Structure 1
Amino acid sequence: MSVWDAIVGQRQAVEQLKAVASGDPKAIAQSWLICGPPGSGRSNVARAFAAALESPDHGLGDEPTRVSRQVLAGTHPDVAVLATDKVTIGIDEVRGLIATSEQMPSTAPWRIIIIEDVDRMLERTTNVLLKEIEEPSEHTIWLLCAPSAQDVLPTIRSRTRIVSLAVPSNQAVAAFLEREAGVEPRLASRAARLAEGHIGVARLYATQDRVLADRDDLVVGVLGLRRASDAVLLAGNLIENAQGQAKDDVDRQAAEAEADFRRVNGLGEKDRIPTALRGAYNAIAKKDELRRRATRRSRDVLDRALNTVASIYRDVAVLQNNAEDAVGLINLENREAITELSVRLTRAGAVERLEDIAVARRRLNGNGNPTLVFEALFCALIA
């Protein structure tokens, strides 16, 4: 298994980065911007590229080297990754990375800095980063990740080499789920179709029954909207499900962190935490931090819900324009109800509802009250 095997549906980008990693070190650009839509795997591409740059075999071997495994696991001392659950990346975090970037690598050819979601930086934070991107330290490579080049300030964009990722095909995502997660073919195919090329969401649908069931309920609920009371009930159920999914996710992460802590410190599942380790143990289970993660996860679930609702009206538009043979339907399981809706709605009506969903997304991103946002949206969708 090479360092690139976990990259799904990005053959052109992988071949480009392979050639760079195995080429003349003096010719390697030191500032990169890896762009791709949500779920395209841009962070994984950045990590694989970093592993190839640091590894003695340049990532070309059939099996990852010890260096590659360290980079991919996030434990290599010369590769720093900034990922955040916050809405924005803080200026102090970036200043810390800049200080790190100026240090010589300890064991590898490069000191590599990966920043996920660089589009979450405010302009003043980006300005702090700008000088380092323009004139990196001699042995430092910056790998920035964003949904698109347009999501990054022109001053950063113009100083980086851009790698653009595609939306993975359903077939590629399904094959990945079968290979990496052991998902049976029919479920893998369905999860890939419903996720619309988003690898992470596809994995959720394929491995977490609750997430897939909640999506199914949402589609049925939207297709069944007839009265304002239906809209209010559906919005309430959606918010409740989002909070439940977020809590499950955070609880699972907290349990994994606690298990890792006990394993590293030689403690059994029910052993009492020694006094000397109590402070470190409490640090991994901060209630405020867990609450913040749950809020962020809940917003992610609601954003995914908007994509699901949009997929319904996308399917309506496909049927209205006789384009099913060309592009297919996303919600095949609900084809009959979607066909009925495509008859009740005009083409303009379908477009108006997609615009209503875009308005709801802007309101949600602007910290609007989620319940009110979805109540208003579902009322607007009533045919």
Structure 2
Amino acid sequence: MEFPGFLGNAPVKEALSRAFSAGRFPHALLFAGERGTGKRTLAALIAKSLVCRDREHAPCGICPSCIRADAGSHPDIRTVEGGGASGDLNVDAARAMLEDAYRMPEEAPYNVYIVRLSGNTSNTAVAAQNKLLKLIEEPPDSAVFILLCPTVEAVLPTIRSRTQIFNLHPPEIGEAADWLRGKKGVEPEAALELSRCLGGNLGRMQEALDGSEATRAFMIAGEIVSAINGPGHRLLKAAAPLQRDRALFGETLGRLSLIFRDAFTLNAGGSSLLGGAPEAAEALRGFSQRRLMAMKELTDEALQMLGRNGNSGLLLTFYCAGLRQGDV
């Protein structure tokens, strides 16, 4: 099995290639990793390999099956998402997949389902996962399920125990910088600097080059982190762009929540980072576990209040004041 365009993660590639070559491919895979680590890229490559007509060089990229897979029109590959902004799996989508999964494939040996799980742990998300569990427990012989989620902990233990789990990570800084130079034409020094800043996360590096709102949120979150222990006016200045842009405010709060989570993980001796901003998390390493957890909880609370249409100006003032307090 080949992995064009999916960098790093050598152990994952080796394990998947070995299973594919031996004809013992798992019926259910779970890919976990922060946004931008290539979960969808890898899932698409696997789906294309499973329907490819050239088993020796899958995915060959030139057979009719590969061409239709690239075009998103192969009849035996389905991407399963729910509605709403998160796109998380819902009960209706899980039920439709349950009804569809027992049909015979039209062309390929397998029906392949790429299932998006956003990491939401609401009652609705749990109900959808319980519906999905019925398929994972007693899978049709001709079906392969590829589950995508930000973190393994967001998936029900009963599903985790029935899937082969792979945690995906960004490639090495140098490899990611080389990719930027070769694929995007970025100058060597700029490519290396961007790769270092974003921890080699290819998805976020592409967002940065596109100038997306997610990149603005990333930059503002980093400025807020660096200003937490500085003069009060510096923190307010860093957060000022959020006052009149609710979408940017929400994106930045989500980013900060992950950074505080990652800093807490680093302080506890862990290494599984989700926020794509290792330098920002490292800058908070000297903070107490109590304060880091309190800042994360404050951030999550602010995000919920923003979602309930709270006054963004007052909320921003409350939030900045909370970050400034030693014990929050």
TM-score bucket (shorter structure): 0.7 to 0.9
In 1, the alpha carbon distance for the partners of 2:152 and 2:243 equals: 32
Stretch moving more, 206-215 or 169-178: 206-215
The equivalent position to 1:185 in structure 2, one of 185, 188, 201, is 188
Q: Residue 111 of structure 2 corresponds to which residue in structure 1?
A: 111
User: Residue deviations 1:344-365, cap 9 Å, x none?
Assistant: xx94x46555334322343256
- Which residue identity lines up with residue 255 of structure 2 in the other structure? R
- Paired residues for 1:1-383 under 5 Å: 4-24=3-23, 27-58=24-55, 60=57, 63-66=60-63, 67-84=65-82, 85-86=85-86, 88-117=88-117, 119-120=119-120, 122-208=125-211, 215-216=218-219, 219-220=222-223, 223-224=226-227, 231-232=235-236, 234-240=238-244, 243=247, 299-306=250-257, 330=279, 347=286, 349=287, 354-364=292-302, 367-369=304-306, 371=312, 374-382=316-324
Distance 1:6 1:75 in 2: 20
* Distance in 2 between residues matched to 1:181 and 1:191, nearest whole Å: 12
Q: Hey, what's the Cα distance between the residues in 1 that align with 2:100 and 2:212?
A: 42
Q: Rg: which structure is higher?
A: 1
Q: CA deviation at 1:174?
A: 2.0
> What 5-or-longer segments of structure 1 have no aligned partner?
246-297, 318-328, 332-337
Is the alpha carbon distance of 1:62 and 1:215 closer, same or farther for their aligned partners in structure 2, counting shifts above 3 Å?
closer
Q: What is the CA-CA distance between 1:210 and the residue it aligns to? A: 7.2
Q: Is the 8 A contact 2:95 2:131 kept in 1?
A: yes
Whole-Å separation in 2 of the counterparts to 1:54 and 1:223:
49
Aligned 8 A contact 1:231 1:379 in 2: no
Identity %, equivalent residues: 22
SS at match of 1:190: helix
Per the normalisation by structure 2, the TM-score is 0.75
SS at match of 1:12: helix
Unaligned stretches of 5+ residues in structure 2: 268-277
Which amino acid in structure 2 is aligned with residue 82 of structure 1?
A: V
Q: Which amino acid aligns with 1:192?
A: S
Moved more, 373-382 or 86-95: 373-382
Q: Which amino acid aligns with 1:23?
A: A
Q: CA RMSD in A?
A: 3.7
Structure 2 CA distance for aligned equivalents of residues 21 and 148 of structure 1: 25
SS in 2 for 1:89: coil
CA contact under 8 A between 1:59 and 1:68: conserved in structure 2?
no
After superposition, the Cα gap between the structure-2 partners of 1:92 and 1:61, relative to the gap in structure 1 and judged at 3 Å, is closer
Cα 1:115/1:59, change in 2 over 3 Å:
farther
Using the TM superposition, give the Cα deviation of residue 110 of structure 1 relative to its aligned residue in structure 2, in angstroms. Answer: 0.7
**Counterpart-to-counterpart distance in 2, 1:8 and 1:18:** 15
Partners of 2:25 and 2:218 in 1: CA distance:
44
* 1:193 partner letter: R
The aligned length equals: 301
The offset of 1:133, in angstroms, is 1.0
Asked whether the 8 Å contact 1:10–1:168 carries over to 2, the reply is yes
Partner of 2:273: none
For residues 189-236 of structure 1, the C-alpha deviation after alignment (integer angstroms, 9 at most, x for no partner) is: 222222234321121123328765665565456545656565555434
Q: In structure 1, how many angstroms separate the alpha carbons of the residues matched to 2:158 and 2:59? A: 39
* Contact 2:170-2:200 at 8 Å conserved across structures: yes
Does the C-alpha gap of structure 1 residues 368 and 88 become closer, same or farther in structure 2, counting only changes over 3 Å? farther
**Contact 1:357–1:377 (CA under 8 A) maintained in structure 2:** no
What amino acid does structure 1 have at the position aligned with 2:300?
R
Aligned partners of 1:126 and 1:210: how far apart in 2? Answer: 31
